[in-house]
Amino acid sequence: MLDISLLVRVHVDALIAAQNDLGVCDAIRRIAPVGKLAAMSSLHLPKVAGIDPTVPVSTHTAAPLTEVPAAPGAFIQDRLASWVSDLTTLHELTERLAGTRTLDDALHELLRAGAALVGARRGLLVLEPADGGGPSITIGLGLAHAELGSIETVPRSVTSYGRILDGRPDAEGPLTHRDLLGDKGLDPRHREVAARLGYAASYALPLATGTGGRLGAAVWLYDEPAEPLERQRHLVGLYSRYASEHLARLLELERARTEAALLAEELLPTRLPRVPGVRLAARRLAAARGGGDWYDALPLPDSALGLAVGSAGGTGPGALAAMGRLRAGLRAYAVMEGEDPVAVLSDLELLLRLTEPSGTATALFAYCEPAARRIVLSGAGHSPPLVTGERRTEFMETTLSAPLGMLACWEAPSVEFTPEPGETVLFYTDGLLRRTGDSMDRAFARLHSAAAGVPGAARHDPAAVADHVLGTMLPDGPDRSDGTEDVVVLAVYFE
């Protein structure tokens, strides 16, 4: 029985030569073992009686070593430390990129990180997907808007990013231009712009994915003739591959958001009615996948006005379709029996049970007589409207009721109130409260504070009131939370 283990002896010179192109582990595996230690190559007596102790020596056994090779030198350790540093930097940059939630933020982060990796101070990035689906975006780093415009006046076919975007065969990989001004064949307009803006070299990199194709190109500019080192090219190449995949995901999300917003605009009122005695303004922030929040305002007989907000459950195309059916149904019922909000919502409950047996929705409908400043409203699981003016800011409580679709027969009493001249009634959906990330009680308190804090000069403009409330509730914009909630605000100002 043989108990022979191999102790691989590696030539240090061969390892140093191999490590420039390979990792340490890869370099070691590529170098064949050249011998064994004598202690490990010697024969061992069998430990079981009756077995012949004479074991023939293999003809492939190498000569025993006379000494153990020295440990790798400080050069190897320095290289290992450099690799660890590079990996740490790459990890930090990709983590920062992964934290971006919008396409615009990701593009700026990619441009900044790439400049740090290749040692450049300025650059530009052009997003131009090869499938033609858009969007087309150009951003700059260290370049003013006018300077970007000057670069765009250079014929596209002679620029490095233009050759990449046009799919030229000689631009499938990185393009290095070490000395632009020293290139006698450089386009005159390109030379003029480069001299005026003060850049003398460029390094361009295509942004593409294996499945989605080309997304765009990034170019970094040097103030003096220069080019990135081989190590810098390797790092920025690894980073750009990950960044391209991240951009592709955000691009798909951006397109879905745009399509959902366009569809929702088609399902919502194209313009608000003009009725004497009141002024209207509406704001809607769409969710990334498209939610079911909606609003409506329609003129009714006898100079009355029907006001409604609601939310269909779910997200995506199904929620948008349910939103369209609910809004269309409510408009029909409002025309026939709008003076009785309870009857309108009762009919809407029946419509929902027939068309969406497993669906739920919240809704609030108000019958408004502007001349008398009288509002009669009824709600189904919806948040109460908020009245704000110079003298008061308070919620107008509606009767407690379950959402539509949760009861076999919906019916709840209506309430009536009279706004004062100069007051604004805010109708909104629960998405405004949920996007704050706070508990509902705290979100209601924030909404009350936001409405009470409207500047006096803006209180007579319903659009300004709606914008102030949105800006206060969502100071970081529509992407403050996860973006899965629609937000609708309908402001009605009484003159």
In 366-402, which positions are buried (b, 16+ CB within 10 angstroms) versus exposed (e)? bbbbbeebebbbbbbbbbbbbbbbeeebeebebeebe
Tell whether the model's pLDDT for residue 39 goes beyond 70: no
Contact yes or no for 356/322 (Cβ under 8 A): yes
Q: What is the mean pLDDT of residues 316-320?
A: 77
Proportion of the chain above pLDDT 70, given as a percent: 81
pLDDT at 321: 82
Tell whether the model's pLDDT for residue 2 goes beyond 70: no
DSSP label at residue 303: T
Structure tokens at 361: 């929705």
pLDDT at 200: 94
Label each residue of 187-203 as H, E or C. CHHHHHHHHHHCCCEEE
Provide Rg for the chain, Cα atoms: 35
User: 């290749």: which residue's tokens?
Assistant: 118
Amino acid residing at 439:
S
pLDDT tens digits along 382-419:
889 999 999 999 998 877 678 887 766 666 788 999 99
Distance of alpha carbon 375 from its chain centroid, rounded?
Answer: 41
pLDDT tens digits along 146-162:
999 999 999 999 999 99
**Confidence band of 313 (pLDDT split at 50, 70, 90):** confident
Q: Give the chain's end-to-end CA distance (angstroms, integer).
A: 103
pLDDT at 410: 61
Residues contacting 214, CB < 8 A, separation 6+: 129, 130, 164, 165, 167, 206, 207, 208
Least confident of 257-261, 320-324, 328-332, 442-446: 257-261
**Confidence band of 483 (pLDDT split at 50, 70, 90):** low
Angle between helices 103-118 and 74-98 (to 10 degrees): 160
* Residues 327, 331: Cα–Cα separation, whole Å: 6
Q: What is the mean pLDDT of residues 320-324?
A: 83
Structure tokens at 470: 């949105």
* Residues 483, 36: Cα–Cα separation, whole Å: 64
* Residues 339, 334: Cα–Cα separation, whole Å: 8
Name the average pLDDT for the chain.
82
Number of Cβ within a 10 Å radius of residue 167: 12
Give CA separation, 296 vs 184, 268, 330, 434, in Å: 65, 7, 9, 22
Structural domains of the chain, ranges and CATH numbers in brackets: 12-72 (no CATH), 80-259 (3.30.450.40), 268-494 (3.60.40.10)
Distance of alpha carbon 243 from its chain centroid, rounded?
Answer: 13
**Confidence band of 358 (pLDDT split at 50, 70, 90):** confident
Residues contacting 438, CB < 8 A, separation 6+: 446
Structure tokens at 301: 């007989």
Kindly give the residue spans of alpha helices, DSSP state H, lying in 205-303: 230-267
